[in-house]
Amino acid sequence: PGLSYTWIFNNDTLDLRGDGRRFVSQETGNLYLAKVEPWDVGNYTCVVTNTEAQQSARGPPTPLTLRSDGVMGEYEPKIEVRFPEVTYAVKGSSVRLECFALGK
């Protein structure tokens, strides 16, 4: 609550208005890019802002590079489950457990 996410690309704030290829989830802060193009290559930095406290923090830059051979590489299927050892919930409330999977 009260957090907003923006991304900086090569020192400029990403303007995503009218951009059908890129999307920032305001729930997770994740940046999604569809159909990566050569001009997408560069450094991406996440900025999280707490609007109530009027403070923001930057993550480290994450470089995006294109492989010259056009191959993504072979990845063994991998599933990461990020659950705390114990999850507490009030009776009748909702609980969300997330699972992330990679593979080819």
Residue 1 has pLDDT above 80, yes or no: no
The number of folded domains in the chain is 1
Which comes out higher in pLDDT, residue 9 or 93? 9
Domain that holds residue 89: 3-102
Q: Where does the pLDDT of residue 104 fall: very low under 50, low under 70, confident under 90, or very high at 90 and above?
A: very low
Q: What is the pLDDT of residue 10?
A: 94
Q: What is the pLDDT of residue 9?
A: 93
Instruction: Confirm whether pTM is higher than 0.75.
Output: no
Contact assessment for residue 16 and residue 4, using Cβ atoms and an 8 Å cutoff: no
Give the chain's mean pLDDT: 78
CATH number at residue 41: 2.60.40.10
* CA 1 to mean position of chain CA atoms: 18
How open is the CA angle 12-30-44, to the nearest 5 degrees? 30
